[in-house]
Amino acid sequence: MSASFVPDFLLDRLLYRDGLMLVIDKPGGLPVHAGPSSRMKGGGDNLEQYFDALRFGLPRPPALAHRLDRDTSGCLVLGRHPKALRKLHKLFSEGRVEKTYWAVTRGVPEKLSGSVDAPLKKTARGSGWRVETAAGDDPDAQTARTTYRVLAQADGRAFIEARPKTGRTHQIRVHLAAIGAPIIGDPQYGDLSPEDRAQPMMLHARRILVPISKNKDPVAVEAAPPDAMAAALAALGVKP
């Protein structure tokens, strides 16, 4: 991500704040934390390095309650202190946080709504890895389920709302590619042209619902799609 960001740029992307958690609008193209390779090379621009600007008087910066892929934009939840973070981790691990994603895909699923129940596993690929669908009896496979519905389509592209029921790495990307609707801009998955690959990835964490307090309604937060996705939706006749 551009070095032109000032250290407190996340203040402008803060969507929600209370005593337990924050929700920020993560920009696409910026990893949430430094990966192993970047650590070996002395670091690299990542979201965590800006968290100090989000203390709001607390003795330590907030921390990630979950992850978003580097190229995915939208709602990202942070815990403001260790007790809140433990609670949030539990909510995410138990599948009690409702997540809604928007995607623009090349290709339209044969069924315009449904569920993809396809176990996933990580496999080595060269010096890296990728996620693939796997047989249910594969010892390395993890159960994974995504519900989806097509909200608009035109010229071989689709606007899809996806809701992951499990939280596997690259889950929505792999599942949509598996039903013939790879996400435009995805650098790894699906049958995409070089032109489609070159675009920003059209996957956005649109809405999140977090039942953080027992005696209050769940915290509901939405993030507007970034400019590139908004333009792609407009081309499909959708006004976000």
Residues assigned a catalytic role: 69
Residue-by-residue DSSP string for 164-185: ESS--TTHHHHHHHHTT-PBTT
Nearest in space to 214 (alpha carbons), one of 108, 93, 91? 91
Residue with tokens 């192993």: 36
For residue 207, the surrounding DSSP H or E stretch is strand 203-210
Residue 71 CB partners (closer than 8 Å, separation 6+): 28, 29, 185, 186, 187, 200, 201, 203
Tell me the C-alpha distance between 119 and 39, whole Å: 31
Nearest in space to 102 (alpha carbons), one of 185, 10, 191? 185
**Token output for 62:** 């907030």
Extended beta strands in 55-167, E state: 63-64, 73-79, 98-106, 113-117, 120-125, 128-133, 145-154, 157-164
